[in-house]
Chains A and B, each alone.
Chain A
Amino acid sequence: MNQDTETQSTTGNALDAVRANPRPVAVWGAVAALLLLPELGAVLASVAEAVAILVSLIPGDPGAALVTDIQRAVGDIPTLLSRETIPNRGYYDGSQWQGTFAGLEPRDAWLLRAVLIYTYALLVFWWVVVGYRWFRSNYRVSDWTPFDDMLDRFRTHRWGHFGLLVVVLFLILVVFAPSLSTTTVDQNIVDPYSHEISYYDHEVESVEQTTVGTANRESQSTGEENIGPWTYDDYGRFHPFGTLPSGKDLFTFIAAGARVSLVIGLVAIGLAGLIAVSLALLSAYYQGLVDLAVVLSSDSIQGLPSLLILLLLSVLLSDTWIGGIYSGGFVLALIYGAISWPFLWRALRGPALQTAGEEWVDAARNFGQAPHTIMRKHILPYIAGYLLVYGSMSLGGAIISIAGLSFLGLGIDAPTPEWGRAVNAGQEYVASESWHISLIPGVLITLLVTGFNALGDGIRDAIDPQSDTDSGTESAATGGGA
């Protein structure tokens, strides 16, 4: 945790160390550049898009044309691990597959792409870890920092590793969702009747054209008719998780829904964390009346039935402008953040109070440092780790809550994919052939929430081996009963 301050004070020396021994940094940089190459197009496109959004915020749109030019130029740079370079969608022309990668059948082409993307992403993750290790052994001036001990404790924490693995796999799914899914959200879910596909009609033995919407209607999973996991439908489309009752591809739905869930969860917990940290710092530093005021307001908010408030407000705000942002997800995230910060604050209050009582805080105060500097420099670093722990655990709760609302048909508006809605769609068919529709999203939510909790456990044991489960956040971790 002291890491930041330690490296800051020794930056000059670290630069000297690089000058004395430039080989590791050169090798690391070269490999990192190589690793960037396959995704160069996608990375530049995201950067260009971010710039475009920033420019569009400036009144008068100066340089809008320039930005469009840049975006077009960037669009020409190929992305190797994408749907375009390794296509999985094609049709059978009676003798072989047309349009798929190297004439493979769609299943194998998709599998190849998925395996390549996961390998690539895990490689990038590993290379970052290697980078930190090289930095530590070659360039860092101090032999030891408290952060090293935390890393060492985490390295033997099996349960934490499980959590990290689940979370990393989920993050890869979120980041690469458009390339990983078998078809695009726009083509398959949002606007199926505006897209045409070719397929091989076995009855007339020729290649025919049809809209995706018609094909979906013939590929429904409703018990009697069923396109189960890991099968093809009649239109030569491969469905790794089967289809929804509407005939849409469940894997594409889940991958896009993972993005929605994570974004909402991160915004909600980010907001809650921001409020919780600010209030924990203020109440620990000033104590007395400030502390009492925060205790009272957090008690009051915790006294509200959170899921019901979320339900009521999402209904009331659904027709307003704020309810339309991100298919209603933005307002959900705001409400969730506003009602869940007390759980985080309770977990941070103890460590913050303890740190505020330390001698160095007293020394800084006598030395004449401003209160906000003391809070930021001398208290914040010691509670940041706890924020990570309880933030990770609450993220699971947020994802469950949002899924619960979508299950009731509230919150995220259709057709934007959300896991809870898939569970709802498959509700009637659980005991039939089409068991996959409800079962797969539910298993994934359970796995993901367990993963976030395990990661939280691991980090907590790493930063503070003495502590054990804090009862205050137990209900936050389960999403208020969803």
Chain B
Amino acid sequence: MSRLRYFFKRLLLSLPVLVFGTSVTFLAIHAGPVDPVAAILGTQTDAASQEEYNRIRRQLGLHLPLWQQYIEFMIDMATLDLGQSWVISPKTSTETLISAYAPRTLWLGFWSILIAIFVGVPLGFYAGMRSNTSADYFASVGGIVWRAMPNFWLAVILVAFLSQSQEFVGVSWQTLGPDVTVTGAAPLQNLSDPNNLLAAIKKVFPAALVLGSASMGNEMRIGRTAVLETINKNYVQTARGKGVSRRTLVWKHIFRNAFIPLVPIITGEAFVLIGGSVLVETVFGINGIGYLFYRASVQGDLPLVGSLMFVFILVIVFVNILQDLLYILIDPRIGYSDT
């Protein structure tokens, strides 16, 4: 019961986050220094464009007082009425754009989380179990440097390296396995066919590796610390004392508890993924949702920018709720103490 109450409390606390984020977006676009209609039309000043100006203005509801615009904006967002695009792809609804662009980003995000977990966590646990050996130092320093590399730079270097891999290491990345080019979006049709699936995974792999790099480093660091801390806990000593096999000791008593501090790191990747997707997608030429957001901002498609921002905030809030749920599942102590 107490755990359920904890969960509902967290659910309630996520509402202000959503409202605040949406309000900030509204203010930036509707009360900011750039007139959305002028941004859409560019710099034309003849009579026809003046008429067009007034028409778009009315259609966007910009002739209303600001507070009325605010209420309409919030109601639209709350009912998921996301409006349409004006510049990037005129007269297309935002939902259509998102359903066209989002799968590529989701595919990228999914693999970047997976690669980060499957490389970062084992490395961190390995380093933690063998703390203060040269292998530990090597892994730790490697993780820190790997994390410090800017995503956009790593992406540039990786693209260059892979497209010329024939000259550098004598093996061409393009023809290794399924034949796919280094840049561009992964083909996501017919994923049930193993060949297509393999091609799609290979295609997204370099971008996912870059996008997951920071998280990989974090997971390694936290994983190492968590294992180190757990190993010295009394219950581990007790278990060892009563003769629990090493296998059970490591998996049941050490790893399960060491996973708890990793949960917020893994879910916290949502921030990094959403922010980083803009840069990584730009370099790898993946026309995903981050790239869409970047183009919409730069080309003055402000109504679309507002809707996309709302979707991003929604995703982050959703991931935070997921994190609480995971916490409750993994750590039975949640909700029983006051903290």
Contact = CB atoms under 8 A, between A and B. Distances in A.
Contacts of A396: 148
B157 interface: yes
Nearest to B314: A303
A316 interface: yes
A416 B93 CA distance: 39
B148 A450 contact: yes
Interface stretch (A13-21, A214-222, A270-278, A306-314): A306-314
A205 interface: no
Given A296-B13, A445-B150, 6 more contacts: A307-B275, A312-B28, A317-B33, A441-B153, A475-B272, A482-B151
Interface in B128-187: 144-145, 147-154, 156-157, 159-161, 163-164, 167
A303 B17 contact: yes
B166 to A, nearest CB: 11
Given A305-B313, A442-B149, A474-B222, A481 B275 contact: yes
B298 interface: yes
A427 B183 CA distance: 13
Interface stretch (A50-58, A183-191, A399-407): A399-407
A137 interface: no
10 contacts: A303-B317, A304-B21, A305-B274, A305-B316, A308-B309, A312-B309, A420-B150, A446-B145, A453-B148, A469-B222
B332 interface: no
A403 B16 CA distance: 32
A480 B272 contact: yes
A481 B317 contact: no
Given A303-B320, A404-B151, A442-B149, A430 B309 contact: no
B150 A471 contact: no
B55 to A, nearest CB: 23
A441 to B, nearest CB: 8
Contacts of A309: 24, 309
Contacts of A297: 20
B11 interface: no
A214 B194 CA distance: 57
Interface in B270-316: 271-279, 282-283, 293-294, 297-298, 305, 309, 312-313, 316
Given A439-B157, A481-B271, A482-B150, A307 B221 contact: no
The A contact surface, by secondary structure, is: helix
A306 B157 contact: no
Contact of B163 (A299, A317, A431): A431
Contacts of A243: none
A299 B147 CA distance: 25
B153 A308 contact: no
A471 B152 contact: no
Contacts of B153: 407, 423, 438, 441-442, 445-446
B34 interface: yes
B42 interface: no
B60 to A, nearest CB: 16
B148 A449 contact: yes
B151 A431 contact: no
A48 B153 CA distance: 40
A430 B28 contact: no
Contact of B18 (A303, A410, A482): A303
Contacts of B273: 481
A481 B151 contact: yes
Interface in A450-482: 450, 453-454, 468-469, 471, 474-475, 477-482
Given A299-B17, A312-B309, A474-B265, A403 B218 contact: no
A315 interface: yes
Interface of B: 13-14, 16-18, 20-21, 24, 28-29, 32-34, 144-145, 147-154, 156-157, 159-161, 163-164, 167, 211, 214, 217-218, 221-222, 225, 229, 261, 264-265, 268, 271-279, 282-283, 293-294, 297-298, 305, 309, 312-313, 316-317, 320
A454 B214 CA distance: 16
Contact of B214 (A408, A441, A481): A481
Most buried by B among A309, A423, A471: A471
B312 A305 contact: yes
Contacts of B156: 423, 426-427, 430, 438, 442
A450 B33 contact: no
B41 to A, nearest CB: 16
A300 interface: yes
Contacts of B225: 468-469
The B contact surface, by secondary structure, is: helix
A203 interface: no
A315 B29 CA distance: 11
Contacts of A468: 225, 229
A311 B294 contact: yes
Nearest to A438: B156
Nearest to A410: B298
Contact of A316 (B16, B28, B163, B278): B28
Contacts of B29: 316
A52 to B, nearest CB: 32
Contacts of A209: none
Given A304-B24, A304-B313, A430-B157, A482 B275 contact: yes
Contacts of B309: 305, 308-309, 312
Given A396-B148, A403-B150, A450-B144, A311 B278 contact: yes
A396 B297 CA distance: 26
Given A308-B309, A439-B157, A319 B34 contact: yes
A475 B217 CA distance: 11
A96 interface: no
A299 B152 CA distance: 27
A179 to B, nearest CB: 28
A303 B274 CA distance: 12
A408 B151 CA distance: 12
B16 A306 contact: no
Given A316-B28, A445-B150, A481-B214, A408 B278 contact: yes
Contacts of B147: 477-478
A8 interface: no
B312 A308 contact: yes
A304 B298 CA distance: 19
B21 A316 contact: no
A305 B297 CA distance: 14
Nearest to B149: A446
Contacts of B28: 312-313, 316
A477 B29 CA distance: 29
In the complex, the 4 A-B pairs of residues with the closest C-beta atoms, listed nearest first: A481-B276, A481-B275, A307-B275, A430-B160
